[in-house]
Chain A
Amino acid sequence: MEFSFPIESEDGYKYLIELTEQTLNFLGVPFNYDVRIYNITLSLIEKGSLTVNPVLSRIGYILSDFLDENGNVILYFYCSPTDHDIEIRPNRIITPQEFRSKLFLNIYKRLSYKFKKEYFHISYTINSPDGKLFNHFITHRKNKNIIEELEVLIHDK
């Protein structure tokens, strides 16, 4: 199952965000919990003229609503190294995956600080031969133990 959300800011930024339910073999191992994992895909469709901050808040609202309306849900964001669909200033020295990771952290901060929600967030930075890889998980605090089980599975990989 997947859910798509178009986002358009007053200054012209257009984003599409999609939440796609992950199949049960998420980690290639049995994962028997009463929880659904949704992959987040965020795509910049058109650049605007000013700042992306208002858009980040709206993305935060969408994710927050989704978490609140679907209690047993974990949101997962893999930070892709592709330089498509993002906007990095030319003078900024940062990899696309790290940029996406910081973007996601900014969204999470809006979820937690601005909306005063009790979520649990964990990110894993993995040193791969191709560079650092960033993975983020957000869920309600009640699902924290499931994330910890996921961590064991990741480490056992």
Chain B
Amino acid sequence: MESITKHISNPSQKLIELMQKMEREKDERREKLRAKVDLYFPDRNKN
């Protein structure tokens, strides 16, 4: 097993924009996922 952590202290504007894109896509996926909640947890307490 191998685990590495790296820091990018001076990211380019393109990299920051890429991260913003990742954030937007993550939000979209999370919304889609939440729409499936009733499918996977039909007995969930909806109160």
A contact set with B: CB distance below 8 Å: 4, 6, 8, 14, 16, 18, 20, 27-28, 39, 41, 43, 45-46, 78, 80-82, 84-85, 108, 112-113, 117-129, 133, 135, 141, 144, 151, 154-155, 157
Contact = CB atoms under 8 A, between A and B. Distances in A.
B41 A8 contact: yes
A118 B2 CA distance: 8
Contacts, number: 109
B18 to A, nearest CB: 6
A141 B2 contact: yes
B29 A6 contact: no
Contact of A16 (B16, B22, B26, B33): B33
Contact of A20 (B6, B9, B15, B29): B29
A18 B26 CA distance: 11
Interface of B: 1-12, 14-16, 18-19, 21-23, 25-27, 29-30, 32-34, 36-37, 40-41, 44-45
A27 B3 contact: no
B8 to A, nearest CB: 5
A44 to B, nearest CB: 11
Contact of A154 (B3, B15, B27): B15
A4 B19 contact: no
Contacts of A41: 26, 29-30, 33
Contacts of A84: 30
A85 B1 contact: no
B25 A124 contact: no
A93 B25 CA distance: 27
A157 B15 contact: yes
